[in-house]
Chain A
C-alpha cells in the first residue's frame, strides 16, 4: 500500500480543482461595470489594510458607496496597473509614493482630476497637472540609537553624516523610492554637482545598505545600527505596536531648510476608465476632506496636506520642512537620480 498516499492526495487535488473550477466560473466577471450609478468602486491600495480599511469603512458608512479593495505593495500594484492598462478593474489607485503615480500618469492611465479636488493640496505636495492628488506627507528624518546618543548630540544636516565619525555607522536604502526622492530633492535644491559630491562622500563612508525603511528601523531599534535615514512615520507605526516608551530607536529632525529634511508624499489617482464614476471621485475627494485628513493625522501620524488641519502633535510644522516645489513624480528627474546613484556605486 505504499502508493495509497500519493493516490489519495491526487484524488483530493482533483476534487479541489473541481470545486475551485466551479468558484472560478462564478467570478469570471472581474471588470465589473462601474458606471456612475453602480454605488461602488474598486480601489487598488498600496497602503496597508490595517491603516486604511477603517477610513474606507468610515467612507462607506457616510456615503453608502461600497469599496472593493485590493491590497498590495505600491510597486507591485503600480506594475500591475501598467500591465493591465485600459483593462484594469480598478477605479482608484492609492499609492505610498509619488513615483508610482508619476509612472501611471506618464503612461496616460489617469484621468485629470477636477480642480476642486486636485487644488485642495498645496503645490509641491501634489501633481503639477492634476493627474493625481497628494494625500499625506512623510518627513525624511534620521533615526538613531537612543541608548548611544541623545538628539542634541547628533548633527542636524544631512551632509554631516558623511563625516569620518559616522564611517560604517549609517544605514541607508538606496534602492528604495523614498531615498531616491530625497536625492532628487537634494539635486533640485543644491544642484547636481553638490548632490554628486554629497553622494560620493556618503558612498565612501561605508554606509550599511538596506533594502527598505522598515529594516533600517528594526536594525537601529535592536541596537546593531547607530543611525539611519528613513521616513518618520515608520517609527510611529512601530511605536504604536510596541509602545513609544519601549522604543530604543529615536527620531532626529534635521534643521529647517536642510536638503535632507524633505517631505515625501502619498497620493491617489483616478484611473482613466473610471472617469465617469462619480463614486470613485467622491472617494478621492474624501481622502483630502477634513474627515480623511484628520484620520491620517490621528491614526498614522502623517502630515496632512490640506490647509487648516494641524500636523500630528510632537512633529515640526510642515512649513519648517523643505518644500522645494519639485515634482517628485517626474520620471525623467528620477532617471537622472538613478544614473547618479549608479555612478557613485550605491545601486
Chain B
C-alpha cells in the first residue's frame, strides 16, 4: 500500500483492488436486486413506467432539489467553517457544536416540527430550505476540521500581494479545504436524492414519492425498481460530477494561524449566517414538537425500561454499523485517494450507490439477498447492521478519501529516507494523519444509523426496537405526547456523536 506521489499513475496492488472490489460488491447489492426486479418486468414495461404521468417531472424535481440543496450547503457550510475557524468569535467551540446539531435531527422530525410551527409551509422552497439546513453540517464539519488543521498564512500573503479577501481565499485557502468540501457536498446531494420523509411532508413530489407510491398503492415491486433505477442514474451523474469537480490538487505548504480579530459590526453580520442552520434545522422543529407535546392528552408515564432498551439497541447498532462501514470503506477510500483509472472510478462509484436509494429499497434488497445467501441470519442484528453499512458507507468513503489525500507524499518520502519500510512509513505517517478523517466518517455513519427508519422496520429482529422505530410507532398513531420523549432522546443521543464530530480536527499539515 505504498503511497505514490501525485502525478505518477501506477497500478494498484492486487490485494487492495480485491478488498475494494469486495466492499463495492456489498454496496452494489441493492443495484443487483433492482436490476433483477426490473428485468422481470421486461423492456416495454420499463419504457411505459418511465414515460407515465408525472414520472419525468418527479425526476426533474429530484435533480433540481439535489442541485439547489448541494449548492447551498456547499456555500453556507464553507462560509460557516471559515468564520468559525478564521475569525475570532465569542465561544467558538459552542458555535461549532451548534453547527453540528442539525445532524442529530432526523429530516422527518425537522419537517414535522416546521409544519406545526408554520402550518402552510410546502413546496420546493420549503424543501430546499429545510434539506439545506439539516445537511449543511456534512460540509461545515469536515471543512472546519480541515481549516483548523490547515493554514491561512498564504491567504495573508495573497492579501499583501493585493488580492481581495474573497480572491485571496480562493487562491490560498480553498485548495486546502476543497477535497473535504466536495466530499461533503456529494453526501448532501445523495442525501437529497434519497430523502422521502421531508419531501413528503413538504409536499414536493420527487422520485422517492413515486417509489413509495409504487409500494404503497400499486403493490408493484417492478415499478418501484424501475423508478429506483432512475434514481441510481441520477446518483451516477452526481458521483461522476463530483469526481471531475474534485480534480487533482497539488499540495500547498502552509502554516497554521490564529483566528483574526474583527470588529463588532462584522461579527454582527457574520454570526447570523452561522446561526441559520441550527435555527432552521434544530430550534424551530424542536419548538414545534414542544408545542404538540403541550397539546397532547396522551402524556402518560414514560415506560422507562422500554425507553432504555431502545436507547441501548440504538447505540449498539450505531456503533457496530460505524465500525463495519469504516472497515469496508477503507480499501475503497485508499484506492480512490491514491490511484486512477476506470476500474478505480467504477469501484468508488458503486460504493456510493446505496446512499442515493431510499431505505425501503435497500431494506428489501437485503431481505432478498439474505434469504437467498444466508437465510440463517435473516431478521438478525447482523443483517440489520449490514444494511446500515450499505446505506451509509459513502459517508465514510468520502471523508476517509479526502483525509488520505491530504497526507503529503513528501512526509512519507521523508520517513522512507529515514529507513522506514513502506508499511512502517504508512503506519507512522499516513495512519495517524488520516485517522481523524476516519473518525469523522465513523461518527457520520453512527449518527445516520441512529436516525434510520425504513430499513430498520424491515430488517430488525422481531421485537427489537430502536428509538426511531419507537418514535414511528407513536407518531403513526397520533400519540404525540407519548412520542415526544422518544423524539427528544433520539435527538439527544444522536447529538453526542455530533458533538464529538465538531471537535475533531484533521491533522495540521505543516511543512517540515
CB of A155 within 8 A of chain B?
no
Q: Which residue of A lies closest to B360 (CB)?
A: A76
CB of A117 within 8 A of chain B?
no
Per-residue 0/1 for A82-121: is the Cβ within 8 Å of any B Cβ (1 yes, 0 no)? Answer: 1110010100000000011011000000000000000000
Total residues of chain A contacting the partner, CB 8 A: 82
CB of B385 within 8 A of chain A?
yes
Nearest CB of chain A from residue B369's CB, rounded to whole Å: 10
CB of B507 within 8 A of chain A?
yes
The docked-state distance in angstroms from the alpha carbon of A260 to that of B432 is: 67
Q: Which of A17, A78, A215 contacts B201 (CB 8 A)?
A: A215
Q: Which of A19, A30, A84, A176 contacts B316 (CB 8 A)?
A: A19
Q: Are B221 and A82 in contact (CB under 8 A)?
A: yes
Q: Which residue of A lies closest to B439 (CB)?
A: A6
Q: Are B473 and A48 in contact (CB under 8 A)?
A: yes
CB of B203 within 8 A of chain A?
yes
CB of A150 within 8 A of chain B?
no
Find the residue from A9, A69, A80, A335 having the highest chain B CB count within 10 A.
Answer: A9
CB of B19 within 8 A of chain A?
no
Per-residue 0/1 for B228-265: is the Cβ within 8 Å of any A Cβ (1 yes, 0 no)? Answer: 00000000000000000000000000000000000000
Per-residue 0/1 for B197-218: is the Cβ within 8 Å of any A Cβ (1 yes, 0 no)? Answer: 0001101010001101101111
CB of B296 within 8 A of chain A?
yes
Residues in chain A near residue B382, CB distance under 8 A: 20-21, 24
Q: Are A177 and B454 in contact (CB under 8 A)?
A: no
CB of A128 within 8 A of chain B?
no
The docked-state distance in angstroms from the alpha carbon of A15 to that of B320 is: 8
CB of B510 within 8 A of chain A?
no
CB of A282 within 8 A of chain B?
no
Q: Are A27 and B478 in contact (CB under 8 A)?
A: no
CB of B480 within 8 A of chain A?
yes
Q: A78-B219, A241-B297 are in contact. Are A5 and B500 (CB under 8 A)?
A: yes
Per-residue 0/1 for B110-137: is the Cβ within 8 Å of any A Cβ (1 yes, 0 no)? Answer: 0000011001100000000000000000
Q: Which of B217, B442, B458, B462 contacts A180 (CB 8 A)?
A: B217
Q: Are B53 and A343 in contact (CB under 8 A)?
A: yes
Residues in chain B near residue A80, CB distance under 8 A: 364, 367, 458
Q: Which residue of A lies closest to B298 (CB)?
A: A241
Q: Are B203 and A24 in contact (CB under 8 A)?
A: no
CB of A238 within 8 A of chain B?
yes
The docked-state distance in angstroms from the alpha carbon of A10 to that of B201 is: 36
Nearest CB of chain A from residue B141's CB, rounded to whole Å: 14
Q: Which residue of B lies closest to A18 (CB)?
A: B320
Give the contact stretch, choosing among B73-81, B164-172, B321-329, B413-421: B321-329
The docked-state distance in angstroms from the alpha carbon of A70 to that of B456 is: 12
Residues in chain A near residue B88, CB distance under 8 A: none
Residues in chain B near residue A240, CB distance under 8 A: 478
Nearest CB of chain B from residue A345's CB, rounded to whole Å: 7
Q: Which of A76, A89, A180, A209 contacts B215 (CB 8 A)?
A: A76
Residues in chain B near residue A218, CB distance under 8 A: 115, 119
Q: Are B442 and A9 in contact (CB under 8 A)?
A: yes
Q: A51-B477, A241-B298 are in contact. Are A102 and B219 (CB under 8 A)?
A: yes
The docked-state distance in angstroms from the alpha carbon of A84 to that of B324 is: 26
Q: A50-B473, A78-B215 are in contact. Are A20 and B119 (CB under 8 A)?
A: no
A residues whose Cβ falls under 8 Å from a Cβ of B: 2-3, 5-7, 9-10, 12-17, 19-21, 23-24, 27-31, 42, 48-51, 68-76, 78-80, 82-84, 87, 89, 99-100, 102-103, 175-177, 180, 208-212, 214-215, 218-219, 222-224, 237-238, 240-243, 246, 331, 334-335, 338, 341-343, 345-347
